[in-house]
Amino acid sequence: MILVVDNHPFQYEMEKICTIFFSQEKIKTVRESDETGERVFTSLRENVITVKAFVNSKSAVKSCRYDLDDAEMQMARMLVEVLSGLTGKKPKWGVLTGIRPTKLMRSEIEKSGREKAIEFFEKNYLVSHDKAILCADVAENEQKIISRVDSHSCCLYISIPFCPTRCKYCSFVSHSVERTNKLVDPYVEALCREIELSGRIVRSTDLRLDAVYFGGGTPSTLSAQNLRKVLSCVRDNFDLDDNVEYTVEAGRPDTVDREKLEALKEFGVGRISVNAQTLNDEILAKIGRNHTSDDFYKAIALAKEFGFDAINTDLIAGLEDESYESFCENIERTIELSPENVTVHTLCLKRSSTLVTDSRKVRRDEKTVDMMVEYANKRLLESGYEPYYMYRQSKSLGNLENVGWCKKGKECAYNILMMEEVSTVIACGAGAVTKLYDRKTGKIERIFNFKYPYEYIDRFEETVERKQKISEFFGK
Ligand code: SF4
């Protein structure tokens, strides 16, 4: 697919919109083209915006007078309208391509109230009525948590980038522990040094710890002994009073055992995640998860014995070969288990995942994925869950969203604070990104750690140096 960008600065947004309609194709952007074939032409000349497209042997054109304050949106809306007309595809998030639609919604609600904000989303961004309502619900639920924190709030993120095996759809920096086993002990050593350093830095500032989150990877891939090492290092270096929310992902059921759960409980962890992704054994085997639905049920039953404040479970809509009926069954079985949180992701076709690097082309029926997401939203609402956080990823099927659902009062504050970027996040470990929240501007500055465990271990002194920026930032 060729995208012509003629005399305007909105290339990035127009490319993103083309990707929604032609998700399986490469978009080639050019300044001018006399090529024939499928192409989209976008132009801004003599105060007129024009969008033309030649797709599926049909063509359509729209133009309007340029409005200085709204030009990008004008062009984006016309492009969505033209491509919708030619392809029959109506993206439910309209022109919105960003990760955090709820940020926009919160600011609209603050400006003009819920109803007007919903209307604005529908008219200005061409968002469907249902998605605008979902977004408003999430934004209002998030606001309850956000209003409890001030600009001194900080979260601690600990990255454990190891998993028992690599899932086919995974795009994270996560290593199969079988292949990288010898890195684990030196990694834990380096990680504990970084946690100590971070504790010292945080104590020298006026930051207040609100949440701790272990993610990755799968933190529970660590042995109980290594898990204890990291947990005790956090306890010794941070002020973990009763108000601090403490979450550890134990995402892979095949990593959950009594000894590890005892360690989590002993060190005050209140929330864990045990993820099914699907309860269909054939599909679990196909996606490389290395566990069965029975392993998942057993892990959940064991976790429940420990009385954590909240257990989350993740499901994915759109997994390879999963039918609509099978997905609905996953939702029903999960609701029966009654976890405090359920997170429903839409499958994302990231270039770094084996799913995409595999030779054959991935094709999915986006209509079915849409029906799956709608079913999940409806049934979770009916079952007493509230949508409490949301994010979107590029390359997700149908350009759909990921939503965290919770029983009343059981939201994970870390997910909200991190996603909405309203708190400083001090992050430790490979691939971790520290985010410094500027109290005056609300903007975020980032410090990146090395991505891979071997780099993180070998170049640890560089991480130490980079971390000094935290003290400089808060000493400003
Ligand atoms: S469990 Fe999560 S982090 Fe680990 S390989 Fe699977 S998707 Fe990636």
- The domain spans of the chain are 2-87, 101-145, 148-464
Query: Tens of pLDDT along the chain (476 residues)?
Result: 899 999 999 999 999 999 999 887 888 999 887 767 789 999 999 899 999 999 988 999 999 998 888 899 999 999 999 999 999 999 999 999 888 999 999 999 999 999 999 999 999 999 999 999 999 999 999 999 999 988 899 999 999 999 998 888 887 766 677 778 899 999 999 999 999 999 999 999 999 999 999 998 999 999 999 999 999 999 999 999 889 999 999 999 999 999 999 999 999 999 999 999 999 999 999 998 889 999 999 999 999 999 999 999 999 999 989 999 999 999 999 999 999 999 999 998 876 677 666 645 556 788 899 999 999 999 999 999 999 999 998 888 888 999 999 999 999 999 999 999 999 999 999 999 999 999 888 889 999 999 999 999 999 999 999 999 999 998 75
Q: For ligand 1, atom 2, which residue shows the shortest CA distance?
A: 217
The CA-based angle 378-379-382, given to 5 degrees, is 90
Q: Please provide the CATH number assigned to the domain covering 2-87.
A: 3.30.160
For the Cβ of 161 lying below 6 angstroms from any atom of ligand 1, the answer is no
For the Cβ of 170 lying below 6 angstroms from any atom of ligand 1, the answer is yes
**pLDDT at residue 179 in the model:** 76
Tell me how far apart the 2 most distant CA atoms of the chain are, in Å.
71
User: What is the best residue among 162, 166, 286, 347 to mutate for testing ligand 1's pocket, by most ligand atoms within 8 Å of CB?
Assistant: 166
For the Cβ of 172 lying below 6 angstroms from any atom of ligand 1, the answer is yes
Burial (Cβ within 10 Å: 0-12, 13-18, ≥19) of residue 82:
buried
The secondary structure element, H or E, covering residue 314 is strand 310-317
The secondary structure element, H or E, covering residue 155 is strand 153-160
Q: How many CB atoms lie within 10 A of CB 470?
A: 23
Decide: helix, strand or coil at residue 317.
strand
The secondary structure element, H or E, covering residue 137 is helix 129-146
The alpha carbon of 25 and the centre of ligand 1 are apart by a number of angstroms equal to 26
DSSP state of 353: S
Residue 188 backbone dihedrals phi, psi, to 5 degrees: -65, -40
Residue 278 contacts residue 131 (beta carbons within 8 Å)? no
Q: pTM of the full predicted structure?
A: 0.93
Q: For ligand 1, atom 6, which residue shows the shortest CA distance?
A: 167
Q: How many CB atoms lie within 10 A of CB 187?
A: 24
List strands edge to edge, sheet with 341-346.
386-392, 401-406, 341-346, 310-317, 271-273, 245-249, 208-216, 153-160, 424-428, 433-437, 444-448
Beta-carbon contacts of 344 under 8 Å, excluding residues fewer than 6 positions away, are 314, 315, 316, 317, 373, 376, 377, 380, 402, 403, 405
User: What is the best residue among 252, 284, 289, 319 to mutate for testing ligand 1's pocket, by most ligand atoms within 8 Å of CB?
Assistant: 252
**pLDDT at residue 256 in the model:** 96
User: What is the best residue among 165, 167, 313 to mutate for testing ligand 1's pocket, by most ligand atoms within 8 Å of CB?
Assistant: 167
CA atoms of 398 and 347, how far apart (whole Å): 9
**Quick one: CATH architecture of 148-464?**
Alpha-Beta Horseshoe (3.80)
**pLDDT at residue 359 in the model:** 46
Q: For ligand 1, atom 3, which residue shows the shortest CA distance?
A: 217
CA atoms of 104 and 388, how far apart (whole Å): 15
**pLDDT at residue 57 in the model:** 87
The closest-lying atom of ligand 1 relative to the alpha carbon of residue 216 is: 3
* Alpha helices per DSSP H over 385-459: 413-420, 453-458
Residue 432 contacts residue 447 (beta carbons within 8 Å)? no
